[in-house]
């Protein structure tokens, strides 16, 4: 599904990732763990083309195709959705409006169908007229997931879905992630606590911009 081969990247002149390689198999959940600043978010940004791969030998393959230079706008069309660690919704829009904006590249019928599917996530339909300001942290994370689900992805790059969630809300999020897994959606999930890891097919640990083996 996703093959990351020897990628190096960074910000400006500062190199952050060094020769990172791993794979996410079809329908797999791969967990990316590691301490603050180890480069987890940078891996997701690089896969999503928000940061260029610096090195000639660094390659990213998705469904067998080289997407190293595909460009971010192409990602969603290919079925890849990135849910960032922060700023993953519009503050001034309601849940409903956030979902509509996310789906605005599609026709009315598709939006309708995807909204119905997305509203199966807990609380989103009930609170659809609320802005994120009036939601709990757990509900906001569900909204971020919902915004991604509007694209009917095959692969989700999810940055810290469990951040700041208590046990009950972590369980809600985990249940939703497992439902996506049942639908054969592949996921690369960043989670630095290593606590909620029993559900994953593979666990990768980052240290100073490298995958520890
Ligand atoms: N926009 C940026 N400009 C310069 N350096 C950055 C930028 N974003 C991140 N970095 C640096 O890159 C390194 C890796 O950051 P990254 O955000 O990938 O870490 P992380 O593993 O996701 O950490 P956390 O668990 O805190 O989210 C850090 O040293 C960070 O300071
Ligand atoms: Mg991060």
CA dist., res. 175 & res. 36, Å (int): 26
Instruction: Quote the pLDDT of residue 59.
Output: 97
Widest distance between CA atoms in the chain: 49
Instruction: Quote the pLDDT of residue 77.
Output: 87
Q: What's the fold here for domain 2-212?
A: Rossmann fold (3.40.50)
From atom 30 of ligand 1, which residue's Cα is the shortest distance away?
37
Pocket flag, ligand 1, residue 42 (CB < 6 Å): yes
CA dist., res. 99 & res. 150, Å (int): 7
Domain ranges across the chain? 2-212
For residue 166 the two structure tokens come to 């208590």
pLDDT along the chain (213 residues), means of 10: 97 96 96 94 95 96 94 87 90 96 94 96 96 93 96 96 89 92 95 72 94 86
Q: Which of 20, 31, 41 to mutate to test the pocket of ligand 1 (most atoms within 8 A of CB)?
A: 41
Instruction: Quote the pLDDT of residue 164.
Output: 86
E-state strands within the chain: 2-11, 14-24, 29-34, 59-62, 65-66, 80-83, 155-159, 186-190, 202-207, 210-212
């Amino acid at each position: 599904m996703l093959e990351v081969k020897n990628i190096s990247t960074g910000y400006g002149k500062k190199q952050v990732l060094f020769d990172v390689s791993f794979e996410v198999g079809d329908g797999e959940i791969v967990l990316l763990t590691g301490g603050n600043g180890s480069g987890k978010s940078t891996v997701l940004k690089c896969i999503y083309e928000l940061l260029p791969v610096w090195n000639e030998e660094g390659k990213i393959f998705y469904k067998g195709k080289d997407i190293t230079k595909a460009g971010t706008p192409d990602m969603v069309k290919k079925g890849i959705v990135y849910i960032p660690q922060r700023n993953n919704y519009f503050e001034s829009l309601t849940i409903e409006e956030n979902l509509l904006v996310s789906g605005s590249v599609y026709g009315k019928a598709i939006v309708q169908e995807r909204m119905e599917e997305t509203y199966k996530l807990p609380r989103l339909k009930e609170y659809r007229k609320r802005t994120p300001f009036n939601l709990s942290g757990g509900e906001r994370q569900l909204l971020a997931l919902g915004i991604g689900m509007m694209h009917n992805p095959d692969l989700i790059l999810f940055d810290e879905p469990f951040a700041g969630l208590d046990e009950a809300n972590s369980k809600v999020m985990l249940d939703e992630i497992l439902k996506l897994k049942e639908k054969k959606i592949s996921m690369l999930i960043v989670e630095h606590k290593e606590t909620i890891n029993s559900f994953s097919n593979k666990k990768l640990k980052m240290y100073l911009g490298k995958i520890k083996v």
